[in-house]
């Protein structure tokens, strides 16, 4: 039977996106808004976060910025309740906030390890903890967690990042099992090198010339290019929409074939 309903439509839904002031988070917030969602922009950078919300509104979408430090449980709890108060519901959560330190375990200082694990992994846990009950009140929803190709295989000079992203991939599976009965789907997207401020910062950490670093990052992929934030945003839209209504616990690789 042919169905004319737009299964990508997010009309009437409320989406929460962390790390939404730039890069993959910003592109995803814009994509979700373009398909009808009201988007809560969460980021620790107030200036860029406000600009992101303003841009979505200027483009005809609905958005509001909430300053959030995802490693603070008190902050995550209060922001979740503020979003519920403002919009009445939460249907989509994109746990995207992340950082990296390009070092081996020998070179990593403990504070570097804690920083990466806390922002990437603990942040995913904390915000999910306080948003899942709100989702469940409205009959369910979709959670998307940002893993990485390096959460599925190892990478060089990125021990903490690999550990955090590997944790996210398996945390996603555990959450999918635990919360399926609440009609909450949980999936991870696992990008390869994507042209974002985070990737460019990695080059600086490694002391490499930016253009050469970006060019080398694209080598060896069957599609022979870096990803764009919009490439990743498309996968977020897929998991946020009804098009993926019977998919949960999945780890979708979005990397131009990099780990094929």
Query: What is the full DSSP assignment across 63-75?
Result: EEEEE--TT-HHH
Per-residue DSSP letter, 150 = G
Helices (H) then strands (E): counts for the chain: 9, 7
**For residue 39, what are the CA distances in angstroms to 20, 88, 150?**
10, 13, 28
Q: How many CB atoms lie within 10 A of CB 203?
A: 18
Helix, strand, coil percent content, the chain, rounded in steps of 5: 50, 15, 35
Q: Mind telling me the catalytic residues?
A: 161
3-state secondary structure of 118: helix
How many whole angstroms from its chain centre is CA 138? 22
Could you give the residue ranges of the DSSP H alpha helices within the chain? 23-34, 46-58, 73-87, 110-117, 123-137, 159-179, 197-205, 210-218, 229-240
- Is-contact 156 182, C-beta < 8 A? no
Pairing of strands 141-146, 38-43: unpaired
Residue 209 tokens, joined: 């010339």
What residues have CB less than 8 Å from 140, skipping those under 6 apart?
Answer: 182, 183, 184, 185
């Amino acid at each position: 039977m042919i169905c004319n309903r737009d299964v990508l439509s997010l009309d009437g839904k409320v989406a929460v996106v962390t790390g939404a002031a730039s890069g993959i988070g910003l592109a995803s917030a814009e994509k979700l808004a373009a398909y009808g969602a009201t988007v809560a922009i969460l980021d620790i950078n107030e200036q860029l976060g406000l600009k992101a919300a303003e841009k979505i509104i200027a483009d005809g979408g609905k958005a509001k910025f909430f300053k959030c430090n995802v490693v603070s449980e008190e902050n995550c709890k209060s922001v979740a309740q503020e979003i519920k108060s403002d919009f009445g519901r939460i249907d989509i959560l994109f746990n995207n906030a992340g950082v990296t330190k390009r070092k081996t375990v020998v070179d990593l200082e403990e504070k570097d390890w804690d920083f990466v694990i806390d922002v990437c992994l603990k942040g995913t846990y904390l915000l999910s903890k306080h948003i899942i009950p709100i989702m469940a009140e409205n009959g369910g929803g979709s959670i998307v967690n940002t893993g990485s190709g390096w959460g599925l295989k190892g990478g060089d000079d990125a021990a903490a990042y690999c550990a955090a992203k590997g944790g996210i991939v398996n945390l996603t599976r555990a959450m999918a099992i635990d919360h399926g009965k609440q009609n909450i789907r949980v999936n991870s997207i696992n990008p390869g090198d994507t042209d974002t401020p985070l990737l460019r910062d990695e080059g600086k950490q490694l002391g490499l010339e930016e253009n050469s670093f970006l060019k080398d990052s694209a080598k060896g992929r069957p599609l022979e290019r870096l990803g764009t934030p919009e490439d990743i945003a498309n996968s977020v839209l897929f998991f946020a929409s009804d098009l993926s209504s019977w998919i949960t616990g999945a780890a979708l690789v979005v990397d131009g074939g990099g780990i094929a």
